[in-house]
């Protein structure tokens, strides 16, 4: 019987961008990060995809913040998430984080 992490790992898709061009795309490592998170390895999860936790906080905030403050929250969450994704992608392609 599969657990959640094993199920995700069994049905994980390869990164076509990385296979074609040899570089990590902005979302490389997301599936492995989720698998590591379900296995309880938070450090490895952050190393695979540093933007996972800010993305999760964004989703939680979107669900619980009232309409007036939501637009400003969304704007800043978007800026922070995109910045982390771009920096992490650069660092992964330099070989300083696991691909």
Tens digits of residue pLDDT in 31-53: 999 999 999 999 999 999 999 99
> Alpha-carbon distance 71 to 91, whole Å?
30
Share of the chain above pLDDT 70, in %: 98
What residue spans define the domains of the chain? 4-94
Q: Kind and range of the H or E element at 87?
A: helix 67-94
Choose between 70 and 37: higher pLDDT. Answer: 37
What global pTM score does this model have? 0.85
Q: Which long-range contacts (CB under 8 A, 24 or more apart) does 83-91 make?
A: 84/50, 84/51, 84/54, 85/26, 85/27, 85/51, 86/26, 87/50, 88/49, 88/50, 88/51, 89/24, 89/25, 89/26, 89/28
Sorting pLDDT into bands at 50, 70 and 90, what band is 89? very high
Predicted confidence band at 73 (pLDDT cuts at 50, 70, 90)?
confident
Query: CB-based contacts of 9: which residues, under 8 Å, 6+ apart?
Result: 35
- Work out the pLDDT band at 74, boundaries 50, 70, 90: confident
């Amino acid at each position: 019987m599969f657990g959640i992490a094993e199920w995700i790992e069994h049905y994980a898709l390869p990164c076509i961008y990385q296979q074609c061009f040899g570089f990590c795309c902005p979302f490389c490592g997301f599936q492995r990060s989720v698998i590591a998170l379900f296995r309880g390895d938070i450090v490895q999860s952050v190393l695979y995809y540093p933007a996972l936790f800010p993305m999760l906080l964004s989703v939680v905030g979107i669900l619980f913040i009232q309409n007036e403050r939501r637009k400003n929250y969304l704007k800043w969450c978007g800026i922070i998430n995109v910045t982390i994704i771009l920096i992490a992608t650069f660092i992964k392609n330099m070989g300083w984080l696991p691909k």
